[in-house]
Amino acid sequence: MTTTSETTLAPVAEAETTKPALPDYLVDTYTWAYLRPASLLLLDNPLVVSSILWGNFRRLMRTACEEFVPGQKVLQAACVYGSFSESLARTVGSEGSLDVVDVAPLQVENCRRKLRYRPWARVRLADAAAPGGGPYDGVCCFFLLHEVPDSHKRSVIRGLLDSVRPGGRVVFVDYHKPKFWHPLRGLMSFVWRRLEPFAFGLVDTEIRKLAEDTDAFTWRKETYFGGLYQKVVAQRHPTA
C-alpha cells in the first residue's frame, strides 16, 4: 500500500478558495440537524449518535476504520457527529494525513475543534462531489449518501472514486435495505419518509449501480444488523 512517505500532499489552496454554496437539499431537509448551533449541542453527543444507529455506531466506525492503515493519506467525505473523525485520524496516525471536507461552515468549525489535537488532520469546506486535494490512498464516506438527493449521490460517488489513486480504496458505510423480517423495518421506513427522504434512493439501489467506471474497481459489500447497514468497498485496480 502506498503511504504518505511515498505520496506528496497535494495543495488544497484552490479547493479552499472555491467555497461551495450550501446545497438546497441540505437547507430544505437538514437545517434542524446540521445548520444550527443548537443542532451541535443536541446531536454531537456519543449517546445520541449511538442511539440513532441502534447501538451500532462503534461497530460501524470500527469496520470503516479497519479498511485503512497507518501512514495513509485519507479523505473523509463529510463531518460526522461523535468521535468518528478522531478515530479515523488515530487510524492513519501522525505519519499519515486526514482531510475532512464538508459543505457546512458550522460543521467544518465544529470538526476542526474536535481534531485540534491531531495536527495531521485538516478540515475544509468542499462538496464531496468535488473534494479536491487528491489523489488519496483511501476515501471514507460514512452515512453521507442517504442524505443527498439521487442525482447528487451519483456526483458524490463519482467525485470520491475519482479521488483515489490506483490500488486505493473508497469505503462507503451507510443504510441498506433491512431483511424482510427485521423488527425495525417499519419504523426505519417511517423515519426515512418523515426525516430522511433521500434514504430510499440508497436502500433501493446498490451503491455500485450508482457509480460509473465500475470496471476500474473491485467491489465488495458486507451488511450488518439484519441488513440495516452496509459497508461497500471499491478498490481501484493497481493499473487503472
CA-based torsion, 30, 34, 37, 43: positive or negative: positive
Q: Which residues bind ligand SAM (CB under 6 A)?
A: 23, 26, 34, 49, 78-81, 101-104, 107, 127-129, 142-144, 147-148, 156
C-alpha cell at 127: 462538496
- Nearest distance from residue 237's CB to ligand SAM, in Å? 26
* CA 224/CA 87 separation, integer angstroms: 20
- Quick one: 128 or 157, whose CB is closer to ligand SAM? 128
Q: Say which amino acid occupies 193.
A: R
- Nearest distance from residue 52's CB to ligand SAM, in Å? 6
- Quick one: 26 or 98, whose CB is closer to ligand SAM? 26
- Nearest distance from residue 1's CB to ligand SAM, in Å? 25
Please report which residue ranges of 93-149 form alpha helices under DSSP H: 105-114
* CA 113/CA 109 separation, integer angstroms: 6
CB 189 within 8 A of CB 196: no
- Nearest distance from residue 95's CB to ligand SAM, in Å? 26
- Nearest distance from residue 206's CB to ligand SAM, in Å? 20
CB 232 within 8 A of CB 176: no
- Quick one: 91 or 107, whose CB is closer to ligand SAM? 107
Residue sitting closest to ligand SAM (CB): 78
- Quick one: 71 or 110, whose CB is closer to ligand SAM? 110
∠102-228-139 over CA atoms, to 5°?
35
- Quick one: 71 or 103, whose CB is closer to ligand SAM? 103
| Cis ω before 197 (30° cut-off from 0) | no
- Quick one: 99 or 127, whose CB is closer to ligand SAM? 127
- Nearest distance from residue 178's CB to ligand SAM, in Å? 17
In the β-sheet with 164-175, what is the strand arrangement from edge to edge? 121-125, 97-102, 73-76, 136-142, 164-175, 229-236, 217-224
